Amino acid sequence: MSVHNDENNVKLAIESILHQSYQDFEFLIMDDCSSDDTFEICKDYSKLDDRINVYQNDNNLGLTKSLNKLLALAKGDFIARQDSDDISLSERFIKQINFISENKLDGSTTRAIVKNSLKVTPNKSFYFPKKIIMKIKNPFIHGSLMLSRGSLQNIGGYDEKFYYAQDYKLLNDLLLNDYKLRILKEELYVLNLSDNISIKFKDKQKYYADCVKKGISPIENFKWKLLSVQNL
């Protein structure tokens, strides 16, 4: 789990992992140079549970590079994502492990309940072939992702050219390389959209997502307000 300035939410996120019915895991947390009490909160939890290992970047690197650093440290056969402002329901891990095993998959995400809402996401997009729907949008909820460590290593982890929409790029790369991903049709995750990066940086997210759809690399220091992908 990568964390940054999320002192108001990170306790619930950590607790939701510690209360999983499946208990055989290591819990890696990378603090991306927080200026609030996020790092201290995570360190306090690590003192209470030896499965938790907390690291801190010397400089703010962003989500993509922080996740790659965590991947390099991970030892398990499967990697489970968790966002620091979201909550995993207690049966998430065991149900995803069984779903992946029973269907001979490389990974899965789940459906999610939107916090403070009756909305469930994704809606109907999981019924369509993923290679087709990915040309239109990303139907996978990044925070609920569980993937085999081998598949992540084989494609080189997250593409660090993608500061935003890194999940879209990763999942698209996996599908293009014929890795098997499916959405578990159960609500096992609570998604917090109140300060979500996709909403907070909507224009930047759109530019990087458009790069994924068109199969091109983003321009470094791109003036995203002045130029559209269609003009590249």
Sign of torsion over alpha carbons 114, 14, 185, 137: positive
* Residues 211, 2, 121: CA angle, nearest 5 degrees: 60
> Six-digit token pair at 165?
């929409």
> What pLDDT, on the 0 to 100 scale, is given for residue 201?
76
Helix axes 38-48, 10-18, angle to 10 degrees: 20
For residue 198, what pLDDT band results from cuts at 50, 70 and 90? low
The per-residue pLDDT for range 201-211, each reduced to its tens digit, is 788 999 999 99
> Six-digit token pair at 38?
């996020």
> What pLDDT, on the 0 to 100 scale, is given for residue 160?
97
Query: In the block, which residue shows the tokens 């991903």?
Result: 181
Is-contact 108 79, C-beta < 8 A? no
Single-letter amino acid, residue 230: Q
For residue 128, what pLDDT band results from cuts at 50, 70 and 90? low
The per-residue pLDDT for range 208-224, each reduced to its tens digit, is 999 999 999 998 765 54
Strand intervals (E) in 133-180: 146-148
Q: How far is CA 12 from CA 7, 80, 161, 162, 203, in A?
A: 10, 17, 31, 28, 29
CATH number of 2-231: 3.90.550.10
Nearest Cα neighbor of 77 from 30, 2, 26, 29 is: 26
* 13: Cα within 13 Å, side-chain hemisphere: 25
DSSP assigned state of 92 = H
The per-residue pLDDT for range 12-59, each reduced to its tens digit, is 999 999 999 999 999 999 999 999 999 999 999 999 999 999 999 999
* First CA to last CA distance, the chain: 34
Query: Domain ranges in the chain?
Result: 2-231
Q: Is the pLDDT of residue 167 over 60?
A: yes
